[in-house]
Amino acid sequence: EAGVAQSPRYKIIEKRQSVAFWCNPISGHATLYWYQQILGQGPKLLIQFQNNGVVDDSQLPKDRFSAERLKGVDSTLKIQPAKLEDSAVYLCASSLDRGTGTDTQYFGPGTRLTVL
Amino acid sequence: AQKITQTQPGMFVQEKEAVTLDCTYDTSDQSYGLFWYKQPSSGEMIFLIYQGSYDEQNATEGRYSLNFQKARKSANLVISASQLGDSAMYFCAAGPLHFGNEKLTFGTGTRLTIIP
């Protein structure tokens, strides 16, 4: 079974530029998550989708970050415009979400963003 | 809401020895799940083990076991017979057991280094 796919793996941009990350979850997984992991910290949830609906985006900086999951499968996270403090690893995860409790989240390899 | 505390920023352990990674949590939820993830230098978060707050027996997965002490609010990870490949960051995480809500809160992690 293929795991969670993410691209690109690395991205370097200058501040005020735009950037987009792509994620393809494990086949059949209804729930998709985007996390931000700043160096030296644990991952922080940015947004959670169930199918193509948003469940939680309370920690997403909506003035510059946006995310979509149009067909309930793959997802795109965008930052526009980027700031220096956005330098981090962006992790995508998915879970089966059978509704029987906390399902295990499976993570992709992440995208390491450097903002100069 | 949950708060996860991992007090060991780094640990050095001799190969083949057992190691215990500490994790304490604070939650207002009645039912919750506890997770441990491993993050090697490649960046991907690898699921290791899960414990539900309702489980009376400690979870085990191969060389991993979770020492769950509910009264102390601790969920320590025990790795038996450590191997060089165990060198990585380890994150403890917790989430509420609500239908369709799998939001996880992560600790700051412990960097484990196995010495040959």
The pLDDT of residue B112: 98
The pLDDT of residue B49: 93
- State the nearest Cα–Cα gap between B13 and chain A, in angstroms: 21
Residue B41 one-letter amino acid: S
Burial of B21-46, coded b for 16+ CB within 10 Å and e otherwise, reads bbbbbebeeeebbbbbbbbeeebbbe
- State the nearest Cα–Cα gap between A37 and chain B, in angstroms: 10
Both structure tokens of A104:
């295990």
Choose the mutation target among B29, B36, B45 for the interface with A, i.e. most A CBs under 10 Å. B45
Strand, helix or coil at A86? Answer: helix
Residue A12 one-letter amino acid: I
Name every residue in A having a CB less than 8 A away from some CB of B: 31, 40-45, 48, 50, 55-56, 89, 91, 93, 95, 97, 99, 101-110, 112
Confirm if A91 and A108 have CB atoms less than 8 A apart.
yes
Beta strands in chain A (DSSP E): 5-7, 10-13, 19-24, 31-37, 44-50, 53-56, 65-68, 75-79, 88-95, 106-107, 111-115
pLDDT digits (tens, 9 = 90+) for B32-44: 889 999 999 988 8
Instruction: Verify whether the Cβ–Cβ distance B45 to A93 is below 8 Å.
Output: yes
Instruction: Verify whether the Cβ–Cβ distance A42 to B91 is below 8 Å.
Output: yes
- Model confidence at A102, in pLDDT bands (50, 70, 90)? low
Q: What is the mean pLDDT of residues B86-99?
A: 87
Both structure tokens of B55:
């489980």
pLDDT digits (tens, 9 = 90+) for B7-17: 999 999 999 99
Instruction: Verify whether the Cβ–Cβ distance A112 to B43 is below 8 Å.
Output: yes
Q: Is the pLDDT of residue B97 over 80?
A: no
Burial of A38-50, coded b for 16+ CB within 10 Å and e otherwise, reads eeeebbebbbbbb
Choose the mutation target among A47, A58, A94, A102 for the interface with B, i.e. most B CBs under 10 Å. A102
Query: Taking all residues of chain B, what is their mean pLDDT, rounded to a whole number?
Result: 91
Choose the mutation target among B36, B104, B108 for the interface with A, i.e. most A CBs under 10 Å. B104
Selected residue with higher pLDDT from A56 and B62? B62
Instruction: Verify whether the Cβ–Cβ distance A43 to B101 is below 8 Å.
Output: no
- Model confidence at B56, in pLDDT bands (50, 70, 90)? confident
d(CA A91, CA A97) in angstroms, rounded, equals 18
- Counting residues of chain B whose pLDDT is more than 90, the rounded percentage is 74
- State the nearest Cα–Cα gap between B116 and chain A, in angstroms: 25
pLDDT digits (tens, 9 = 90+) for A27-69: 999 899 999 999 989 999 999 998 889 988 999 999 999 999 9
pLDDT digits (tens, 9 = 90+) for A70-87: 888 999 999 999 999 999
The pLDDT of residue A52: 84
- State the nearest Cα–Cα gap between A64 and chain B, in angstroms: 22
Q: Is the pLDDT of residue B30 over 90?
A: no
- Model confidence at B65, in pLDDT bands (50, 70, 90)? very high
Q: Is the pLDDT of residue B101 over 70?
A: no
